[in-house]
Every structure is written in C-alpha cells, then in structure tokens.
C-alpha cells in the first residue's frame, strides 16, 4: 500500500515530527497511519535513550501555585541549548510538569514520570520522550 504527500503532511501535523521522518515511518508501515505513529513513538524512545547521555545544562526553573488548593511547586527542566529552552513546546512542557508536581505530589522523579501528563493519556515520561523526538535534544527534569 502506498501513501501520498497529503498522508505525510497529516502524519506531521498529528505528531510534530519532521517530514522526512514521517515519510520514512509511512514507508516502514506500508502507508498505515496508526502503524506509522507507533513506529515514530518507538523511534522516539530509541532517540531519547541515545540522547540521554548528552549534557542538558540549559533550561528553565518554573514555579506554579495551584489556584484551587494553594499548593505550589518549583521544577527545573533542562535541554542542551538555550534556543530550545525558549521554545514554546519546551516551555509548555515545563509548565505542565510543574502542575503535575503541585497537584499529584510525587515522592521522587520515578513517581513523577509515572504520573499522568495533563491533557493526555500519556505519562510524564512518555510525553518527555515525545518532546525529545520533536525538539531533537535531550531533556532532563530535575
């Protein structure tokens, strides 16, 4: 089964991944959109593991106080470059991680990574791995 340029565009809009990666995913999955998304997700995990050894020293600290319960949290999330640290995807990720910390009160990083990411069925760790794939740099929550 083949695929069209429109399929590549749709996959890119769904995932935020680059065009060439979308094209390769569709080729590997014989044009099946669901299989292509899964292929990209698996590739993202591999890419995240590969990039995990890189130094992530640029980033931001963010404080958030829950307006309902008054509980606050401060998180630090780092990436490899200051350009990514200013990227809207990265900043939104940091804000959402702070909300998870304030609302769920995880005991440590492992517990945080197992928490549900806001507005998604994914965990914080799965969302972090997706951001690594889309942004292309290692991301560390501290």
Q: Strand 139-141's sheet: what is its strand order? A: 58-65, 72-79, 139-141
Pairwise CA distance, residues 74 & 101, whole Å: 8
Among 6-15, 58-67, 124-133, the minimum mean pLDDT is found in 6-15
Q: Are 48 and 128 in contact (CB under 8 A)?
A: yes
**pLDDT score for 75:** 97
The pLDDT tens digits of the residues spanning 76-131 come to 999 989 899 999 999 999 999 999 999 999 999 999 999 999 999 999 999 998 89
Residue 38 pLDDT > 90: no
Pairwise CA distance, residues 5 & 105, whole Å: 45
Domains and CATH numbers, the chain: 5-51 (1.10.8.10), 58-141 (3.30.479.20)
116: DSSP letter:
B
Pairwise CA distance, residues 106 & 136, whole Å: 27
């Amino acid at each position: 089964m083949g695929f069209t340029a429109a399929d590549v565009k749709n996959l890119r809009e769904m995932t935020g991944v680059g065009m060439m990666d979308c094209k390769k995913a569709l080729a590997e999955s014989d044009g099946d959109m669901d299989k292509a998304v899964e292929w990209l997700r698996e590739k993202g995990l591999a890419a995240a593991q590969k990039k995990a050894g890189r130094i992530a020293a640029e980033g931001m600290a963010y404080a958030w106080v829950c307006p309902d319960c008054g509980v606050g949290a401060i998180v630090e999330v780092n990436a490899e470059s200051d350009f990514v640290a200013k990227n809207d995807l990265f900043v939104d990720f940091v804000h959402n991680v702070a909300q998870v910390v304030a609302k769920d009160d995880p005991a440590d990083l492992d517990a945080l990574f197992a928490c549900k990411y806001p507005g998604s069925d994914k965990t914080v760790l799965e969302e972090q791995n997706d951001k690594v794939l889309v942004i292309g740099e290692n991301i560390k929550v501290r």
